[in-house]
Structure 1
Amino acid sequence: MAFLEISDVRKQFQQNVVVKGFNLGIERGEFVSLLGPSGCGKTTVLRMVAGFESPSAGRILIDGKDVTPLRPNQRNVGMVFQAYALFPNMTVADNVAFGLKVAKRSPSEIKSRVEEMLAMIKLPHLASRYPYQCSGGQQQRVALARALAHKPKVLLLDEPLSALDAKIRVSLREDIRALQRSLGITTIFVTHDQEEALSMSDRVVVMNEGRVDQVGAPFEIYNDPATRFVANFVGTLSVLKGKVLDAKAGRIQVGKSEIIASRKIINHNVGDACSVALRPEAAVLENGHDLGSGRNRLGGTIDEVSFLGSVVRIRVKIDDDAISLDTFNNPSAIPPQRGAPVVVSFTPHDVLVLDGETKH
């Protein structure tokens, strides 16, 4: 049995079912992200684990104990909210100490633990400040320290970085992951930001309309999406219209050209329409250089060139569709010009067929 078990959990508000048959096992010390669009049910799952919502059906177990009927303060979980939720009339130190005081710990133990937590989040010099005197990133660190002060068995993070600017978000997510690893605490992180989920997690749970579409390591979620929704939601995709020529051999017609997919196409017959998808990093411009046999090739023209800093994104028009591809910025290279004819190539393994299921 996993350290945290969410079994057949369902949540219904009046006639609206927001979580449907949710099952997930999380091992001790694992960092798992719930990823999905707004309204998919991820925060509701988190609130049920915390005890702020009661499941309409199903059970939640922590370390073998059924906590489903228990109140939040009986579950030994720590939660960090999107809006910090710090007490404005308390100093940073008092905010961190709040849960310990409620638990009636001794003054010496509280003082020692607060000092330890402030050192851990690298803010001991802010102990006497009030929340309004701290930046957003500092406030979120304080909220994290408060959640961890009473040594919870499970840490719950509800989009804790969404209110911060881009640079602080990157810095803080690295700090959160490092802290989680050092403590070995079991963690659930809710986000709609795919980059956060992929960069921080041991596993990612992609949710769609109250259900789990796929659970897997970030590498698996990105490179081998189980459903069309996962493929579209996680990462950037270029989608081309195609027609199946030979499902068993993976042969597909795109425009006037034929390409090969390394995966057998099932639930399709010869002549069926399908959608062919590519990641931006999978396609390259051959530019007169033969990259070898066995690659798919499509001719087109440069439609747009966008400079994104370290990456240059090139959009190539192919018949009525387009492929976006990424190249690393090379200051000594001349970017391709709009309207220039080019050949885009990619391997059969890079081809995702989105209509219908695929398998290796």
Structure 2
Amino acid sequence: MAFLTIEKLVKTFGTQTTVKGVDLAVERGEFVTLLGPSGCGKTTILRMIAGFESATSGTIRIDGKDITDLRPNQRHIGMVFQAYALFPNMSVADNIAFGLKVAKKSSAEIAARVKEMLELIKLPQLGDRYPYQLSGGQQQRVALARALAVKPQILLLDEPLSALDAKIRISLREEIRAVQRALGITTIFVTHDQEEALSMSDRICVMNDGNIEQLGTPFEIYNYPKTRFVASFVGTLNILNGRVLDSTSGRLSIDDQEIVTARELGGASTGDTLALALRPEALSIGHANGGSNNLTGTIDEVHFLGSVVRIRVRFKDNVVSLDTFNRPHAAPPERGQPVTVNFTREDILVLDRPAI
């Protein structure tokens, strides 16, 4: 049995249903991310797990115990909020010790645990400081230490990095993942940032409109999306319209140029227009042989981004973007220049519904 089990979870606010019968099983020690746009229900699920919101229906179990109707302080869960929520009138050490004092732990146990947590978050010398004397990244580490100090069964992270600048976010997400692995604590992380989800998670639960669209590893979610929403939400995507020439052999036409997919186009008829997806990294400039597809077009835009040059190629009605590495001794192509773009049959993803 999974360590955390959510079954048919529903949350309704008035006439609006925010979470629509969600099922989710999380293994002990696993890091699972709820990923999706604002309003998709991910934070509402997190708050129901924590007990800050009551479930309209459904059950939540931790290690086989039904906690659906328990109060937050009865669930033994640690939570880190987006806005840190540190007590401004308490020192760093006192913030970390707060939950331990509420639990009536001994002074010696509290002092030892606070010292352990300060070492864990790499702030051993800052126990006497106050939150206003810390940077945003340091405050978030303290919030993490406070949540972990009480040795919770589950750690909940509600977009804890969204208020930080880009460099600190990258550094802190690596630290959070390292701490989680070191402690082996079951963790649910909420974010709308796909890069965070892909880089940190054991599994990602992609949500849309109160439902789970797909649950899988980062590799599966990125490379094998099961719906058009997942394909377009996770990662950068080129979407092209292709007209079916022969569904059995996987032949299509893109702006009067023929390509072939690796699989049959089951359910499609000759003349149907399908939405096809190609990741930018799957595309290369230059003619390729050996079963690859080639499309001829012209350079529409070239954007120099330092280490990467982003190139936009127009065929006719369809346009794709691709990235190439900057090479100082090789000038990038110019606008209007004719080029051939190549990609393999396996790189083509046929989305879940015909294009309009």
Asked whether the two chains share a fold, i.e. TM above 0.5, the reply is yes
Q: Is the 8 A contact 2:78 2:154 kept in 1?
A: yes
Question: Equivalent pairs: percent with the same residue?
Answer: 67
State yes or no: 1:92 paired with 2:92.
yes
Match for residue 172 of structure 2?
172
The one-letter code matched in structure 1 to 2:325 is F
Using the TM superposition, name which of 235-244 and 42-51 deviates more.
Answer: 235-244
State how far apart, in whole Å, the 2-side matches of 1:263 and 1:21 are.
34
Deviation string 1:106-143 (CA, Å, 9 cap, x unpaired) is 01100110010011001111111111110000000000
State yes or no: 1:318 paired with 2:350.
no
Q: Secondary structure at the match of 1:212?
A: strand
**1:265 offset after TM fit, Å?**
2.0
**1:238 offset after TM fit, Å?**
1.1
Match for residue 245 of structure 1?
245
State yes or no: 1:335 paired with 2:332.
yes
State yes or no: 1:344 paired with 2:341.
yes
Match for residue 40 of structure 1?
40
Q: Is the 8 A contact 1:302 1:317 kept in 2?
A: yes
Match for residue 191 of structure 1?
191
The one-letter code matched in structure 2 to 1:246 is D
**1:235 offset after TM fit, Å?**
0.6
The one-letter code matched in structure 1 to 2:56 is S
Using the TM superposition, name which of 260-269 and 108-117 deviates more.
Answer: 260-269
**1:159 offset after TM fit, Å?**
0.2
Using the TM superposition, name which of 244-253 and 98-107 deviates more.
Answer: 244-253
**1:321 offset after TM fit, Å?**
1.8
Match for residue 299 of structure 1?
296
Q: Is the 8 A contact 1:285 1:345 kept in 2?
A: yes
Q: Secondary structure at the match of 1:125?
A: coil
**1:104 offset after TM fit, Å?**
0.5
State yes or no: 1:70 paired with 2:109.
no
1:2-17 alignment runs, 5 A limit: 2-17=2-17
State how far apart, in whole Å, the 2-side matches of 1:230 and 1:267 are.
21
State how far apart, in whole Å, the 2-side matches of 1:156 and 1:329 are.
41
The one-letter code matched in structure 2 to 1:126 is L
Q: Is the 8 A contact 2:226 2:352 kept in 1?
A: no
Unaligned runs of 5+ in 1: none
Deviation string 1:211-234 (CA, Å, 9 cap, x unpaired) is 000000001100110000000000
**1:355 offset after TM fit, Å?**
4.3
Q: 1:298 to 1:166 in 2, by over 3 A?
A: same
Deviation string 1:142-180 (CA, Å, 9 cap, x unpaired) is 000000000001000000000000000000000000010
Q: Secondary structure at the match of 1:264?
A: coil
State how far apart, in whole Å, the 2-side matches of 1:355 and 1:107 are.
60
Q: Secondary structure at the match of 1:356?
A: strand
State how far apart, in whole Å, the 2-side matches of 1:42 and 1:70 are.
20
Q: Secondary structure at the match of 1:29?
A: coil
Q: Is the 8 A contact 1:266 1:356 kept in 2?
A: no
**1:307 offset after TM fit, Å?**
2.1
Q: Is the 8 A contact 1:311 1:328 kept in 2?
A: yes
Match for residue 309 of structure 1?
306
Q: Secondary structure at the match of 1:265?
A: coil
The one-letter code matched in structure 2 to 1:285 is I
**1:342 offset after TM fit, Å?**
0.2
* Equivalenced residues, count: 354
State how far apart, in whole Å, the 2-side matches of 1:307 and 1:14 are.
50
Using the TM superposition, name which of 8-17 and 261-270 deviates more.
Answer: 261-270
State how far apart, in whole Å, the 2-side matches of 1:73 and 1:261 are.
55
State how far apart, in whole Å, the 2-side matches of 1:349 and 1:8 are.
36
State how far apart, in whole Å, the 1-side matches of 2:303 and 2:242 are.
27
The one-letter code matched in structure 2 to 1:251 is R
The one-letter code matched in structure 1 to 2:233 is F
1:1-360 alignment runs, 5 A limit: 1-286=1-286, 290-356=287-353
State how far apart, in whole Å, the 1-side matches of 2:292 and 2:42 are.
40
Q: Is the 8 A contact 1:268 1:356 kept in 2?
A: no
Q: Is the 8 A contact 1:4 1:26 kept in 2?
A: yes
State how far apart, in whole Å, the 2-side matches of 1:276 and 1:149 are.
49
What TM-score do the two structures reach when normalised by structure 1? 0.97
State how far apart, in whole Å, the 1-side matches of 2:250 and 2:90 are.
64
The one-letter code matched in structure 1 to 2:29 is G
